[in-house]
Structure 1
Amino acid sequence: MTTDDGYRRGRHVVSALHVHLVFVTKYRRGVFNAEMIERCEQIMRDVCDDFGALLIEFNGEDDHVHLLIEYPPKVAVSTLVNSLKGVSARLLRSEFTDRVNRHSMRGHFWSPSYFTVSASGAPLSVLREYIEGQRHPA
């Protein structure tokens, strides 16, 4: 994992890879409430653990979520994104059937697209503040 100096050390690699991801619900439907945001965070933490990644920061609004993830160099961001969206969609739809109307979202939870940016340009403290500042649904 990460050491005190902020670097991830492996047998043949030293890395500090961070990615800022944004996932939007299908048709930007406002389906999230506070309980769903908390469950979504837990699901995404578990998926990150499976990949050897670390979910540093998570927050969202009623129609999208922001993630700040530290990941090992052997993980492709696209593969991580597919698992994060697939697992979370399946579990959230099954656990919150009253909030997620499958018919109005045409069977999908997330929009097929996503936003990703390398977090090396801005200081992580600035990104963390930005994500913490998102309006949390009531």
Structure 2
Amino acid sequence: MPQSLVKNYIHIVFSTKYRQDFIDEQIEKELFPYIAVICKDFESPALQIGGYDDHIHILCLLSRKMALMKLVQEIKAHSSKWIKTKGPQYENFFWQDGYGAFSVGRNEVNRVINYIKNQRQHHQNQKFKDELIEMLEKHDIEYNEKYIWD
């Protein structure tokens, strides 16, 4: 085949370091579009970005030229540096080291978009820890809770 044809929808999830509540509704209005630009710059357009005070969800179309790990690393590095310029309350902002990433079938894209859009409402009823464990189990990913939360 003379060309590479790829379409990988990826749902990425990661939290702030120690799950600190840094992502308030005010900063997310700037943070989410900023992350969308990073995704676009790495040829992995974001279809939806959302989150809650201590974590973020990104649904993107992963570039055929980009390793997932590299994309997440670039998103975290650039957004962390940027957010620290937004005021003294963000001086100690960091993302956690790890992340979760889940493949999304074409028929599930709209459901995931709506899920990500409604994170603030969703987290009135479910904690991030329970949400992440549910995602890991749904995707049959083995995990050790000690390394997720420590």
TM-score in same-fold range (> 0.5): yes
Hey, which of these two has a bigger chunk of helix by percent?
A: 2
User: Which residue, 59, 62, 65 being the options, matches 2:53?
Assistant: 62
**Residues of 1 paired with 2:116 and 2:82: CA distance?**
23
Q: Say whether the 8 Å CA contact 1:30–1:63 is kept in structure 2.
A: yes
Identity among equivalent pairs (%) = 25
In structure 2, stretches of 5+ residues that fail to align are: 124-150
User: Which residue, 21, 33, 47 being the options, matches 1:42?
Assistant: 33
Deviation of 1:101 (Å): 5.0
* Residue aligning to 1:113: 98
Partner of 2:69, secondary structure, is: helix
Deviation of 1:35 (Å): 2.0
Deviation of 1:97 (Å): 2.3
1:124 and 2:122 are equivalent in the alignment: no
Deviation of 1:128 (Å): 1.1
1:20 and 2:11 are equivalent in the alignment: yes
Q: Say whether the 8 Å CA contact 1:18–1:118 is kept in structure 2.
A: yes
**Residues of 2 paired with 1:96 and 1:46: CA distance?**
21
Q: Could you list the per-position Cα deviations for residues 6-51 of structure 1 after superposition, in whole angstroms to 9, with x for gaps in the alignment? A: xxxxx71222111101120011111111121121112211111211
Q: Which gives a bigger RCO, structure 1 or 2 (Cα 8 Å, sep 6+)?
A: 1
* Residue aligning to 1:6: none
Partner of 2:119, secondary structure, is: coil
Taking structure 2 as the reference length, the TM-score comes to: 0.73
**Residues of 2 paired with 1:96 and 1:69: CA distance?**
29
Q: Say whether the 8 Å CA contact 2:22–2:53 is kept in structure 1.
A: yes
Q: Say whether the 8 Å CA contact 1:43–1:87 is kept in structure 2.
A: no
**Residues of 2 paired with 1:60 and 1:47: CA distance?**
17
Q: Could you list the per-position Cα deviations for residues 90-119 of structure 1 after superposition, in whole angstroms to 9, with x for gaps in the alignment? A: 100121322x252xxxxx511111111111
Deviation of 1:123 (Å): 1.1
**Residues of 2 paired with 1:121 and 1:45: CA distance?**
20
* Residue aligning to 1:133: 118
Which 4+ residue blocks in structure 1 deviate beyond 3 angstroms?
A: none
Q: Say whether the 8 Å CA contact 2:85–2:91 is kept in structure 1.
A: no
Hey, which of these two has a bigger chunk of strand by percent?
A: 1
